[in-house]
């Protein structure tokens, strides 16, 4: 197979973790007889510095001809000004909207080797294997917003339509059909009108997926259940802001935010793949970044955009084996203990493929 992948490394540790992920993809290509080409594009703070835009038109043009996009992270103290007219995060929102990447898939699983790095009891972490599906192009992040008068008041609008909810719910139902046939829909229907529309739509769609058991959980309750009975969940679907917050909370289950990957998909095979973590400017350039999330995002790229399931499983198995061997980056190592660098960890994964 031939595939063209655009790499937008972004800021902070973004270049370090995407370098690790592309090295893993290159090993996969060599081992399985594929031909992957990589082209670099700008996004985030570095794009603002070089072009004045958080997502230059040149990057969009590059990505429009690609099979997939691999993203690092955006932002940092240099651009940390919420009042600025151009901000790194605008690049993320723009690329998601431009390619209509409405479904954000975030797998969360626990690793026995990392149980000691979470604040939860080991028995709570047993058999945790869930898939979050977050709506990504609607809701409060894209709604009408305004600061009123002299800036003493402001509003952001949470707005959804039935088609927006239905299409992401369908992705969740199909995922549940291929897993344990259980779907948890997260909302705040006891308070929010947008959540009541969300719930009605998810319920109606259940008629098309009769084998999937549907349950509804209010978002505030979900924050508690995530920490007390995470193994009881399979596929979960949530709106943009609830999904954003809950998946960051879920990083506690995996031992570190650096462990979690994500895939942002549209109606076709084109997708954007990125670790859930941010740019971590405090450790950038020090070899301390955990590339697991980026490497597992590359595995999702193989699975969803290139339909290379065997290769995706090979990468995931190599990550499991690397962790089981004792290889640890700084974030999953006890303070004061020795750890491997970002590139050393990636090399261990590569050798395991």
Active site positions, annotated: 141, 188, 220, 244, 248
Going by C-alpha positions, the residue among 215, 249, 220 that lies closest to residue 235 is 215
Question: What span, in angstroms and rounded, lies between the C-alpha atoms of 179 and 184?
Answer: 13
Question: What span, in angstroms and rounded, lies between the C-alpha atoms of 130 and 95?
Answer: 26
- Whether residue 26 contacts residue 15, with contact meaning beta carbons closer than 8 Å, is answered with no
Name beta bridge partners: 109: 129
Q: At what angle do helices 292-304 and 342-352 cross, to 10 degrees?
A: 40
Question: What span, in angstroms and rounded, lies between the C-alpha atoms of 251 and 339?
Answer: 20
- Residue 45 class from Cβ within 10 Å (0-12 exposed, 13-18 middle, 19+ buried)? buried
Q: Who's near 297: CB < 8 A, 6+ residues apart?
A: 21, 70, 261, 262, 263, 273, 274, 275
3-state secondary structure 180-216: CCEEEEEECCCCCHHHHHHHHHHHHHHHHCCCCEEEE
């Amino acid at each position: 197979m031939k595939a063209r992948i655009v790499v937008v490394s972004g800021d902070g540790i973004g270049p370090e973790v995407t370098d690790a992920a592309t090295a893993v993809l290159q090993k996969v290509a060599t081992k399985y007889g594929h031909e992957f080409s990589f082209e670099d594009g700008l996004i985030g703070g570095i794009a603002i510095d070089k072009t004045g835009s958080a997502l230059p038109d040149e990057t969009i043009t590059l990505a429009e001809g690609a099979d997939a996009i691999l993203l690092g992270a955006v932002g940092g103290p240099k651009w940390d000004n919420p009042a600025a007219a151009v901000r790194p995060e605008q690049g993320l929102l723009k690329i998601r909207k431009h390619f209509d990447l409405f479904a954000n898939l975030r797998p969360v699983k626990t690793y026995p080797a990392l149980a000691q790095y979470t604040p939860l009891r080991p028995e709570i972490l047993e058999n945790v294997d869930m898939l979050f599906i977050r709506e990504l192009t609607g809701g409060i992040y894209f709604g009408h917003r305004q600061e009123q008068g002299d800036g003493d008041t402001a509003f952001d609008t949470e707005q959804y339509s039935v088609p927006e909810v239905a299409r992401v719910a369908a992705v969740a139902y199909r995922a549940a059909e291929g897993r344990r046939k259980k779907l948890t829909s997260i909302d705040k229907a006891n308070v929010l009108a947008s959540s009541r529309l969300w719930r009605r739509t998810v319920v109606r769609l259940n008629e098309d997926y009769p084998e999937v058991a549907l349950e509804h959980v209010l978002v505030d309750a979900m924050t508690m259940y995530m920490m007390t009975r995470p193994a009881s969940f399979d596929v979960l679907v949530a709106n943009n802001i609830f999904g954003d917050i809950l998946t960051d909370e879920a990083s506690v289950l995996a031992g570190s935010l650096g462990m979690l990957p994500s895939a942002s998909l549209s109606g076709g095979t084109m997708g954007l793949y990125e670790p859930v973590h941010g740019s971590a400017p405090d450790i950038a350039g020090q070899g301390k970044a955990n590339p697991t999330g980026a490497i597992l995002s590359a595995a999702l790229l193989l699975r969803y955009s290139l339909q290379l399931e065997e290769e995706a499983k090979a990468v995931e198995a190599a990550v499991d084996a690397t962790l089981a061997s004792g290889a640890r980056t700084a974030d999953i190592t006890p303070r004061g203990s020795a750890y491997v660098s970002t590139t050393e960890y990636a090399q261990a994964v590569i050798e395991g493929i």
